[in-house]
Amino acid sequence: MDVLLLKNVPGIGSAGQVKKVNDGYARNYLLPQKLAVPATGGAVKQAETIKQAAARRDAKSLADAQELARQLGQVTLTFRAKAGEGDRLFGSITAGDIADALARERHIAVDKRKLELENPIKELGERQVAIKVHAEVTAQVTVVVERETE
């Protein structure tokens, strides 16, 4: 049976594709779960319209991500922390701290899991931190860690 997938189905295909599947699988799983519909002429035409809308949405999303990356590239965040000998911090600056500072100081909401920071920052100095704002766009934020004066 030919079906038009309405949602991504692991091992079968992605939304908008027409796939040939076993009749029982379509009748007992895909159709009742609203993951697919029978591939009729009207359904395929509707799928093309949905694909075109998705392509426009993806293009807008990419443009928005590039603009956000441009804004983030101009950002310098300064943290003050207590440090001991060898400029080692007593604590650390984490991805969560950087995301919170972006939200607080620049009003830019970034999920801390999008920051590509392998280990927390534990030393004074300046470094670039990558932020994955889109599947195809990565931004760089400058993070400066200074010694806290007492």
CATH of the domain at 115: 3.10.430.100
DSSP code at position 118? S
Average pLDDT over residues 86-94: 92
Q: What is the largest CA-CA distance in the chain?
A: 74
Q: What is the pTM of this model?
A: 0.70
CA angle in degrees (0–180, nearest 5) for 37-40-42: 100
- Annotate 39-108 with DSSP letters as a single string: --HHHHHHHHHHHHHHHHHHHHHHHHHHHHHHHHHT-EEEEEE-B-GGGEEEEEE-HHHHHHHIIIII--
What's 34's domain CATH number? 3.40.5.10
- Predicted confidence band of residue 15 (pLDDT cuts 50, 70, 90): confident
Domain boundary residue, one of 59, 76, 103 = 59
Q: What pLDDT band is residue 79 in, cutting at 50, 70 and 90? A: very high
Find the mean pLDDT for residues 56-76: 93
Are residue 133 and residue 106 in the same domain, yes or no?
Answer: yes
pLDDT (0 to 100) of residue 140: 95
Tell whether 48 and 101 lie within a shared domain: no
